[in-house]
Chain A
Amino acid sequence: MQYLFIESSKYILSVILIIYAVAGMSIFAVKNTAFKTAMAVIQNSVNILFVIICSMHMFLLSDNAMYLAVMIFVLTSIFIYLFVTQTIFPECNIYLLNNFSMLTSCGFMIISRISINKSFKQFVITTISFGISIGLIFLFSKISFLKKLTWSYAAIGLMLLSAVLVLGKFTHGSKLSISLGPISIQPSEFVKIIFIFFLASILWNEINAKKIILSALIAALYVGVLVLSKDLGSALIYFIIYLFVLVLATGNYLYMLLGLLLGSGASVVAFKIFSHVRVRVEIWQDPWPFIDNKGYQIIQSLFSITSGGFWGTGLLKGTPTTIPFAETDFIFSVICEEMGIIFAIAILLISISTFIEMLRVSSKINDSFYKQIVFGVAISLLFQAFVTVGGGIKFIPLTGVTLPLISYGGSSIMSSTFMYFVVQAIYIRLRKEDKKAKSNSK
C-alpha cells in the first residue's frame, strides 16, 4: 500500500494541481458568486491535500521524520495565511490569497526536497514577511501621503542599487547582494517595489512631457546601474515594468514602440561593450561547446527538464541537485524533473491567473496612482516568472532571477510577499471605499 502510494503520488499531484489551476481560471469566466466560493473551497482543499501528499511521499520514501515536521509547519502556515487574513480583513481578495498560499506551499515542498534546513529558513522569513504585510495593510488604509514621496522613492531606490554596485562583491559573475553582518540582502528585489511606487507617483496625474522625460531618465539610471552590476535579469524586468506602466499612464502605444526600439538599441550596444552580455547570448545560442564550464549550468538544467517527462520522476527520485543553484534560479527545472511537465504548466497557469486577477483589480480602480501600482506589480511578478522559466528552459538567454514565491531566498520571498500584499492592501482599501460610497448613497 505504502509503495503504491509512493508510485502513484506524482499522478495525483499533477491532477489536483491542474484542478486548482482550472478552478482559478474559471472564476474569470463565471460571474456566479456561489460558484466562485465553491472554486475557492476546492482550491483550499487542493492546497492542503498537496502538502499532505508531498510530505507523506517524502517521509515514506526517505524514512526521515523531519518531513512530518515540514508537513505540520506548512499546514500551519496555510491556516495562518488563509484564516488570519480573512478574519482581520473580510474584504480581502480570496483568489490572490489562495494563490499566495498555494505557491508558497509549493516552494516549501520543493525546497525541503533539496534541503529541509533551507525550507525551515524560508518558512521563518515568509512568516515574518507575512506579519509585516498585515501591518502594511493597516498602514495603507491610514496614510495618504504615498503619492507625494516621488523623489524620495527615486533617491532611496537609486541609493540602494548603487550601494550594491559599490559595496557588493562579484559572486558568480554578478553583484547582487550586500552583506549586513550575517545577513545578505539583495536590494534589487525590494527596489522593484520602490521603483513601481516612484513611477506611479510621478505618472498618476497631469502627465506632461517633462514628467515623462524625468521618469525615463530615472528608469534609465536604474537599469544602467543594474547592468553595471551585471544583474541583467533585474535590468530587463525594471525596463519592462517601466515600459508597460508608461503606456498604461499615457495610453499611448507609441511609447511602447519607441521603448522597444531604444531597448533593442541599448541591448545591441551592451552586447558590443560588455563581454558578459555576449557570453550569455553565446551560451543561449549553443551551450554544448561550453559543457565543461560556462554552459554547464544551463545544460544540467535542460537535462533536468527533459528527464521527468509529463508526470515527473516523483519527489526525491530525480537528481535535480546536479544543477548549481537549483533551489534559487533553477527551481522550475527541479519542478519539471520531479513533478513533471504537467505540474510545471499548472504552476505557470497559477502565475498567469494571479496576473489576470491583479489586472482585473487594476482595471476597477479609478485612482490612477493605485491603478498603476497594482498594474506594475502584476507585470513585475509575471515577467520575472517569464525571465526565470524562459532562461532555465533555454527559451531566452539565461539571466538568473528567482521564481516569485517558490524560489529559495530571503529577499526574493520577502519582496514577492510584499507585492502580493500591496495589491491586497489596495484592494481592501477599494472595497472599503466602495462600501462607504454605497452606504452613503443609501
Chain B
Amino acid sequence: MSKIEISSDKKLMNSIKSKKTKTNNNLSIYITLGLFAVLFLSMIVYLIVFNCTNSRSFLSNSYNKRETVLMKQNLRGTIYSNDGDILAYSVQNDDGTQTRIYPYGSLFAHCIGYSTKGKTGVEQLQNYYLINTCDSLTTRADNASNKVLNNSYNVTTTLDVELQKIADEYLGNYNGAVIFTEVKTGRILAMVSHPTYDPNNIDAMWDLLTVDSESSVLLNRVTQGQYPPGSTFKIVSALEYYRENGNGYKKYDYVCNGYYTYGDYRINCFHQTQHGDVDFDLSFAKSCNSSFANIGMSLERKLFSETLTSLLFNSPLPCEYEYNQSRLIIDEETTDYDMMQLSIGQGKTSLSPYHLNLITMAIANDGLLCTPYIVDNIKDASGVIVEDYSANTYGMLITEDEAKFLQGLMEEVVLNGTATRLQNDIYTAAGKTGSAEYNDLGDSHAWFTGYAPAENPEVAVTIIIEAGGTGGEKAVPLAKLMFDSYFERY
C-alpha cells in the first residue's frame, strides 16, 4: 500500500467516526463547558470585587482577630494635625509589643479616638492604613532580621491644634461641644467634646469610663449629643416663613409685650423682655420668642415637615463619625401649642451640634453643602501621598436665594442683635444665638452657630455650652476667640 492510500483510508475512517460520534452528543459537551466557564468566571469576578470592596471594613470588625497578627509585624502609623504636629504615634517596646501615645492627652480624644478597646474616631476611620505596612520587600526582610516592626502608613488630618486648644480651654469644666469647619471644602478644623478623657489611659480607665454612664465621657457630643436647639431653630422657622411668604416677610410687623398667648397657652420672651414694635429682621436679630410664636402659628404643617426633611431632620447625615439623627416630627396631629413651642426651638425637638453646623455651612456657602471630612491624606513612610481626600459636595440644602435671605438675617444678629460681641475691625461675622431652657427654673444651654467673614464666608462654627447661660454672653465670646485665631493665621 502506498502512503497516500493509507492517509486517505484514515481520512475516510475518521469521517465515518466523526459522523457517528459528533452528533448532538458532543454539542452538549461544549454547552456544558460553556455553562461552567460562565459560572466560574462570574465566581472569580465576585471573589475579586468582594475582596476589594470589603477588605478594609472587615479588618476593623471586632470579631476579626487578624489585627493582632498585623500588630506583631507593623508599627501603627502616626496621625498628624494639619500643620504636621503629631497627634498620635506608636513606639515599639522591648518585648516586641507596641504602645500608643497621644502627646496632647485628652485634647483630641473624641476626634482621634482610641485603638486598643475597639476603635473610634480617626483610629477607626483609617485603621486599614494605620496597621498595614508600606515598607518594601527588602526593608521588611531587614526589619524581620533586626526584630524591628515595619512602618505603616501615616495619616494627616485637617485638625488645627490652636483652634482645638482655644475651644478646649474655654469649655473648661463645662460640658459641651464645639465644631469648626471650612464651608467651601468641608474640612473640619476643630471638634471638641466635653467632658473628655485621656486616651493614653484608656486601658486602665476603661471599666470606670464604661460604668459611668451618667456623664458619658466617651460620647462624642458633637455628633451624638442631642440638644433642644433653642433660638438657633429660628433659622429653620424663618426659612419656612420665607418659603411660604417670599418677600412678603418684609411687610411682617408685630408688637411684643414680652409674651404671646393663644387660648390658655403662653410663650414668654427670654426673661420676659419687651421687644416692642419689631419687623421680621428684628424679630430674628433680637430673638423675640413672642414674635416667632406668632410666626409659628401661621405656618403650614405639611410644608414645614417638607422643609425639615430638606434640612435632613429625621434623616441620615453625611457624617464619618458615629452620630445620632436629629428628631422633629410635624404632622396634622401636631397641636397649636406644639407649633408655638417648636417654632422657638423648645419642646420635643432635638438636634446635634454637628447637624446645626451642616445647616450653617450650607447657608454660608450659598446653599451648597460640602461634606465635612477630617482626614486630609495618607502618606507612606517616605512622605509620598498614596491617597488624597479632597472636598466633596453633598448637594444644595437650600436655594441660593434662601441662603442670601438667611445670611441677611444672621448678619443683623451681629450688627443689631444678640451677637454684637462679635463686632470687630478685622473681619465681619454672622450667626444666631440660642439659650435653650432645659428646666423650669429658666436655666439654659448656651448656643451659637455662625460663620465669617459675612460677605465671603470661609469658616463656620457651632458651639453649645451646657448650662452655660445665654448664647450671647457665653457662646459668642468663644466664637470670637476662634475666629480671631483663624483670621490671624490664615
Contacts and interface: CB of A to CB of B under 8 A. Distances in A.
B23 A251 contact: yes
B144 A3 contact: yes
A322 B65 contact: yes
B26 A366 contact: no
B69 A359 contact: no
Contacts of A383: 36
Nearest to A332: B47
Contacts of B54: 302, 306
Contacts of A390: 43
A49 B250 CA distance: 86
A213 B63 CA distance: 51
Interface string B28-63: 110111001101100110111011001100110101
Contact of A251 (B28, B65, B69): B28
A3 B24 contact: no
B108 to A, nearest CB: 29
A309 B26 CA distance: 40
Contacts of A394: 50
Contact of A386 (B39, B69, B73): B39
Interface residues of A, number: 53
Nearest to B46: A395
Interface string A273-292: 00000000000000000010
Nearest to B140: A7
B17 to A, nearest CB: 7
Interface in A341-392: 341, 344-345, 348, 352, 355-356, 359, 362-364, 366, 368, 371, 375, 379, 382-383, 386, 389-390
Given A4-B137, A303-B63, A306-B50, A318 B40 contact: no
B47 A359 contact: no
A6 B33 CA distance: 39
A330 to B, nearest CB: 14
Interface residues of B, number: 45
Contacts of A313: 69
B138 interface: yes
A4 B139 CA distance: 9
A2 B58 CA distance: 32
A317 interface: yes
B25 A393 contact: no
B55 A306 contact: yes
B38 to A, nearest CB: 11
A299 interface: yes
A371 B28 CA distance: 12
A344 B47 contact: yes
A33 interface: no
B329 interface: no
Interface in B115-152: 137-138, 140-142, 144-145
B20 A305 contact: no
A248 B51 contact: no
Contacts of A11: 137
Given A4-B137, A7-B140, A305 B63 contact: no
B64 interface: yes
B83 interface: no
B9 interface: yes
Contacts of A366: 17, 20-21
Interface string B11-22: 001000100110
Of the candidates A2, A251, A394, the one having the most CB atoms from chain B within 10 angstroms of its own CB is A251
B50 A244 contact: no
B47 A393 contact: yes
Contacts of B24: 251
Contacts of A152: none
A309 B69 CA distance: 15
A359 B33 contact: yes
Contacts of B66: 303, 307, 318-319
Nearest to B132: A309
Of the candidates B17, B36, B37, B144, the one having the most CB atoms from chain A within 10 angstroms of its own CB is B36
B106 to A, nearest CB: 33
B46 A306 contact: no
Nearest to A382: B36
B145 A3 contact: yes
B141 A3 contact: yes
Contacts of A441: 9, 13
Nearest to B22: A363
B40 A348 contact: yes
A3 B142 contact: yes
A352 B32 contact: no
B69 A317 contact: yes
Nearest to A340: B51
Of the candidates B9, B23, B27, the one having the most CB atoms from chain A within 10 angstroms of its own CB is B27
Given A4-B141, A318-B66, A319-B69, A352 B36 contact: yes
A302 B64 CA distance: 10
Contact of B40 (A317, A363, A386): A386
A425 B210 CA distance: 68
B374 to A, nearest CB: 25
Contact of A341 (B27, B47, B68, B142): B47
B9 A393 contact: no
Contact of B64 (A307, A317, A345, A364): A307
Contacts of B37: 352
Contact of B50 (A251, A318, A379, A393): A393
B63 A302 contact: no
Contact of A306 (B13, B51, B140): B51
A65 interface: no
Interface string A312-335: 010001110010000000000000
Given A313-B69, A318-B69, A341-B51, A303 B64 contact: yes
Interface in A250-281: 251, 253
A132 interface: no
A363 to B, nearest CB: 5
Contacts of A251: 23-25, 27-28
A115 interface: no
Interface string A211-229: 0000000000000000000
Interface of A: 2-4, 6-8, 11, 244, 247-248, 251, 253, 291, 296, 299-300, 302-303, 305-307, 309, 313, 317-319, 322, 336, 341, 344-345, 348, 352, 355-356, 359, 362-364, 366, 368, 371, 375, 379, 382-383, 386, 389-390, 393-395, 441
Given A306-B58, A348-B44, A363-B29, 13 more contacts: A3-B141, A6-B144, A8-B141, A253-B31, A291-B63, A296-B63, A303-B61, A307-B58, A313-B69, A319-B68, A341-B47, A363-B21, A386-B43
25 contacts: A3-B140, A7-B144, A247-B28, A251-B24, A251-B27, A253-B31, A302-B50, A302-B58, A303-B66, A317-B73, A318-B66, A319-B69, A336-B47, A345-B44, A348-B44, A352-B40, A363-B25, A363-B26, A366-B17, A366-B21, A375-B29, A375-B32, A379-B32, A386-B36, A386-B39
